[in-house]
Amino acid sequence: MAEGPFSHLAQTLRGAAPAIEPPTRANVSLLPPVFQFSQNSLQDYADCARRFQLRYVLGQRWPAAVSEPIGEYEEHTERGAHFHTMVRRYYLGLLDDPAPPEDAVLRQWWQAFIETPPEGLSESIRLPEMEFSVPLAGQRLLARFDLLTIDPGERIVIVDWKTTQHRTARHILERRLQTLVYRYVATKAAGHLFGGTIAPEQVSMVYWFAIDPLNTEVFTYSEYEHEQARQELNGIIREIEQRGQAEPTSPWPLTEDEARCRFCEYRSLCRRDVPPGSVGESLIEGDSGGFDFDLDEIDEIAF
Ligand code: SF4
């Protein structure tokens, strides 16, 4: 396979530890077919261009923990992964009468899910952990949905499980690229499950919080928002490509918001003199970083 700016990512996905090499003009001009943009990679770029460059272009891996204490961070990551697995198995019909989890927090989340699942979901089809990718700006845009529920010909509801310690404010979710990417990809890609073309107005997204299961956040969608999303996502991908061409060997701009560096594994590389964020603090999932388990990150978590 030809080498490209994302070839280290391809290696990462195959499990090989990539060597870090300075990019050259030749190897930033092509994206290998294996790379797909996602809400995570686009959010990384939106938060800090240098983070995107280090993570996806150079394949730099984890010089520091995202937050501390490390054990607590790993514990929360594993707990989030476990919860997602239990919910997936539940919707696949593989968990008829599960024993309550031993872990007290996980038990609490599971109880919240069983007793107070999100309301108003489509009834006919429920598909946990679905993955779609669609073409955009000459690239592929990938979305991994925690749950898609579908009434063919009528509506699609996207569900995302949030296992943060604090409920995320609506205005933050509204700005996160996840909300944009998931509704966009579902509208473009899920037609064959839907029984035909989907209008954006037939798509909605629900965030369900394990810590506050009664109070979901629901985002509807519209033709206008769909076109806005297309333009915004297209613009970010184009900007990344242009930066790759224009600045193949120099560091891409570091974020001016140093609060973001507190929850970034590259803070020592960037010589940002900020203390690492704590797990409890980062779980607030604020606007300046934040931490939550996400399906998109499964391939990138290296524990
Ligand atoms: S430490 Fe800060 S400047 Fe460096 S990549 Fe991370 S967010 Fe960007």
Using CA atoms of 256, 259, 264, 269 in order, give the dihedral in degrees to the nearest 10: 50
Structure tokens given for 24: 């050259």
Spatial distance between the Cα atoms of 29 and 248, rounded to a whole number of angstroms: 9
Spatial distance between the Cα atoms of 40 and 294, rounded to a whole number of angstroms: 9
Q: Where residue 73 falls among pLDDT bands split at 50, 70, 90?
A: confident
pLDDT (mean) for 67-75:
69
Strands 139-151 and 155-162: antiparallel
Q: Report the first-to-last Cα separation within the chain, whole angstroms.
A: 28
Burial (CB count <10 Å: 0-12, 13-18, 19+), residue 234: middle
Spatial distance between the Cα atoms of 39 and 196, rounded to a whole number of angstroms: 25
> Atom of ligand 1 at shortest distance to CA of 272?
1
276, 267 in Cβ contact below 8 A?
yes
- Tell me, in angstroms, the distance from the centre of ligand 1 to residue 269's CA: 8
Domains in the chain, start-ordered, CATH in brackets? 1-12+35-303 (3.90.320.10)
Whether 166 lines ligand 1, by a CB cut-off of 6 Å, is no
Q: Is the pTM of this model over 0.85?
A: no
Spatial distance between the Cα atoms of 22 and 31, rounded to a whole number of angstroms: 16
- Per-residue pLDDT tens over the stretch 237-258: 999 999 988 888 899 999 999 8
- Tell me, in angstroms, the distance from the centre of ligand 1 to residue 272's CA: 7
Pick the more confident residue, 80 or 3. Answer: 80
Q: Where residue 8 falls among pLDDT bands split at 50, 70, 90?
A: very low
Other beta carbons within 10 angstroms of residue 302's beta carbon come to 9
Spatial distance between the Cα atoms of 160 and 175, rounded to a whole number of angstroms: 16
Whether 184 lines ligand 1, by a CB cut-off of 6 Å, is no
Structure tokens given for 162: 């949030």
Spatial distance between the Cα atoms of 82 and 283, rounded to a whole number of angstroms: 17
> Atom of ligand 1 at shortest distance to CA of 270?
4
- Per-residue pLDDT tens over the stretch 84-112: 999 999 999 887 666 778 889 999 999 99
- Tell me, in angstroms, the distance from the centre of ligand 1 to residue 48's CA: 6
> Atom of ligand 1 at shortest distance to CA of 266?
1
Spatial distance between the Cα atoms of 148 and 160, rounded to a whole number of angstroms: 9
Whether 264 lines ligand 1, by a CB cut-off of 6 Å, is yes
Q: Which residues of 268-300 are buried (b: 16+ CB within 10 A; e: fewer)?
A: eebeeeeebbebebbbbbbbbbbbbbbbbeeeb
